[in-house]
Structure 1
């Protein structure tokens, strides 16, 4: 147990308010926005303690840079913003230390074995954010009435943001010379996030809401005219039909990520810090 958690107690006026001591893993497009907001006091009840990254941060970083092991000694909430690999390597250790974990790279959770291990680990608790996708709470509510008959996600992005090392020359050539939309891959929400680890975390978030990654069909489309990153969810079940269409501007520094994603992460931190009116 870290010193921060052990130090909680009661004063003469009642319980001492608990301040979330936050460590951010990954100082990229998501981590920088989240960390800067926390350091600026924009989320009440949450304090940025440290940043974990394998690259030097420089003097501009708003908090000290620590190793992962050191971060677990000083934080009670770790925010992952470094990619699926960080979840696989460190997720269980974070939770076993008693530290809570908020995952941005939800694609890692389509690995059933990893998801089971994280849910079984503790005493820390694991959370995930919907990121660039909305409507998840409604789909969770609909699922409680009965299984959804059909769930389809179509994600459209600029071709360059979807290029992957496993792609053959023919597919790459079609994407690079396309004058209109090109379907890059079609599969389930279990298959697709593994193939696009930085571009399709929304598919995993949708699968977690629906409760079955194999029941979610995903189409990944490359479009040279895609000024926005677009996610369209179409779902139906015995009690209703649902359609959500979200179009986001990509982050200028990392076009594979929508600009809204760090703010979804901040919303999750705020909910975990006890601010009212927030749904995680």
Structure 2
């Protein structure tokens, strides 16, 4: 006899609202939305009660993080230590090696992450077992306004705001870039987790005023082959820093965790 997953969604924003609504409407077999955790008032639109993190850990067996990297850092270990499983959408938090080690040993709860707005991660994981990849590159292109950050100097901001074509905003590794763009480059961390090496993935962030779609291009090569994946998503209208598809990737991960069968995992 199957057990229904009792789920808490953390964050009632662009991602959490879609995930929570789908759960409340019974669209994920084997999963039930019990509560929502958010430090802002949810209003009458929320389908279930608002709860604290402590209440969520007491009443649920799975917490879905949809509120940003800071939540993973502050609450991840406590959720797992309570025996509650954790599904992470903000994979950029896992660029912190020490945090990742603590999460992996914090049990008895189990930690999972979703690939979010990019595909091909399962193939990269499979190739990795054949041997190391010689080169892995990710190029992310977004509208300039979605990439502006407090650390940017006036010169860079001016270049982005007056750009008539693509402008490189930053290049570095998958360890460096998600820290600088905590809401925009979780994809870099997801690729690195699949490859198994944060420092091996070179990342380029590009601002383009013509980028009506958010674009991610992954290029990888090694002794066993060469691989290229390209995706172009519509930004979420409520939060253009994230792609519209992300909450549906979370829902797919939830469906797998809830035990739905007959699909490619």
Same topology, TM > 0.5: yes
Are residues 115 and 199 of structure 1, via their aligned partners in 2, closer, same or farther at CA, if it must alter by over 3 Å? same
**Correspondences of 1:13-92 after superposition (within 5 Å):** 16-92=1-77
How far apart are residue 277 of structure 1 and its match?
Answer: 3.4
Once superposed, which parts of structure 1, at least 4 consecutive aligned residues long, lie more than 2 Å away? Answer: 277-280
> Alignment partner for residue 252 of structure 1, among 204, 215, 237?
237
Q: In the aligned structure 2, how far is the partner of 1:277 from the partner of 1:222? A: 40
- 1:267 maps to 252
Q: In the aligned structure 2, how far is the partner of 1:74 from the partner of 1:238? A: 49
Contact kept? 1:24, 1:50, Cα under 8 Å: yes
Are residues 208 and 248 of structure 1, via their aligned partners in 2, closer, same or farther at CA, if it must alter by over 3 Å? same
Q: In the aligned structure 2, how far is the partner of 1:40 from the partner of 1:275? A: 17
How far apart are residue 167 of structure 1 and its match?
Answer: 0.2
The structure whose Rg is larger is: 1
Residues 1:152 and 2:137 are matched in the alignment:
yes
5+ long unaligned stretches in structure 1:
1-15
Q: In the aligned structure 1, how far is the partner of 2:157 from the partner of 2:40? A: 30
**Correspondences of 1:79-158 after superposition (within 5 Å):** 79-158=64-143
**Correspondences of 1:153-192 after superposition (within 5 Å):** 153-192=138-177
RMSD: 0.7
**What do residues 243-270 of structure 1 show as CA deviations (whole Å, max 9, x unaligned)?**
0000000000000010000000000000
Q: In the aligned structure 2, how far is the partner of 1:33 from the partner of 1:278? A: 22
Residues 1:222 and 2:178 are matched in the alignment:
no
How far apart are residue 279 of structure 1 and its match?
Answer: 4.9
How far apart are residue 278 of structure 1 and its match?
Answer: 4.0
Secondary structure of the 2:133 match is coil
> Alignment partner for residue 192 of structure 2, among 194, 204, 207?
207
Contact kept? 1:29, 1:253, Cα under 8 Å: yes
5+ long unaligned stretches in structure 2:
none
How high is the TM-score relative to the length of structure 2? 0.99
Q: In the aligned structure 2, how far is the partner of 1:147 from the partner of 1:219? A: 21
Contact kept? 1:230, 1:246, Cα under 8 Å: yes
Aligned residues: 265
How high is the TM-score relative to the length of structure 1? 0.94
